[in-house]
Amino acid sequence: MEKSTDAELMGQVLKKNTRAFKILYSRYEMRVYNFILRYTGNKEIAQDLLQETFTRVWFAAHLFNLETGNFRGWLYTIALNIARNEMSRKRYAYDYAEVSTIAFKDEPVNPRTEEPDAAVERADLQNAISQALLKLSPLLREIIILKHYQQLKFKEIAEMTKTPEGTLKARFHRAIAELKELLDPREL
């Protein structure tokens, strides 16, 4: 079953096979989690939304087209909608940027391989990147995450978001320009 395609596994998920569901989860957990984490900038929210995304996959399996469906695109569409809904709620609108600054504090420093100063510098740089990304408007952040981090093609993103490819590319150019402004040149 480990070598089955996503569509084959979804066929099994439709029959309520939890083993197939777990394989699918293992294939995509990191990607979906990091997608949501970069979108929201908050580990707790990302954790909750990852759970919500896969719960929806289980319950909405009958909506997936086993013949022609692209599971990755379908999964990202679910995750994106959940993340968009969550971030549109006002309760996170004011504090998510601050929360993101603690995103790297719990990452251990290996004293044998990394000097403490270098580790601090690395954490500062990571925070600067995450802060800059979180300062972008949601649509610009979305395109950077889907294109750069998730390595999706513009065509796939266009299908997922129901947005013309040209619009997405224009957003990408704008996002790059804004990121350049936001990031200090010495940090690049």
Output phi, psi for 6, to 5 deg.
-60, -40
Is there binding between residue 125 and other proteins (CB under 8 A)? yes
Is there binding between residue 179 and other proteins (CB under 8 A)? yes
3-state helix, strand, coil in the chain (%, to 5): 75, 0, 25
**C-alpha closest to that of 6 among 19, 17, 20, 15:** 20
User: Residue 138 is encoded by which pair of tokens?
Assistant: 């949601």
In this structure, the number of other CB atoms found within 10 A of the CB of residue 37 comes to 22
Q: Which of residues 44-63 bind other proteins (CB under 8 A)?
A: 46-47, 50-51, 54-55, 58-59
Q: Which spans in 17-147 are helix H?
A: 18-40, 43-59, 71-88, 90-93, 96-99, 116-135, 138-144
Q: How far is the CB of 129 from other proteins (least distance, A)?
A: 5
42 with 131: CB under 8 angstroms? no
Q: Which of 14, 77, 154, 163 touches other proteins (CB under 8 A)? A: 154
Is there binding between residue 33 and other proteins (CB under 8 A)? yes
- Region from 61-69, 73-81, 89-97, 172-180 binding other proteins, contact rule CB under 8 A: 172-180
Interaction mask 60-99, other proteins, x per CB under 8 A? ----------------------------------------
Is there binding between residue 19 and other proteins (CB under 8 A)? no
Whole-angstrom distance, CA of residue 130 vs CA of residue 122: 12
User: Which positions touch other proteins (CB under 8 A)?
Assistant: 18, 22, 25-26, 29-30, 33-34, 37-38, 43, 46-47, 50-51, 54-55, 58-59, 103, 107, 122, 125-126, 129-130, 133, 144, 147-149, 153-154, 166, 169-170, 172-173, 176, 179-180, 183, 187-188
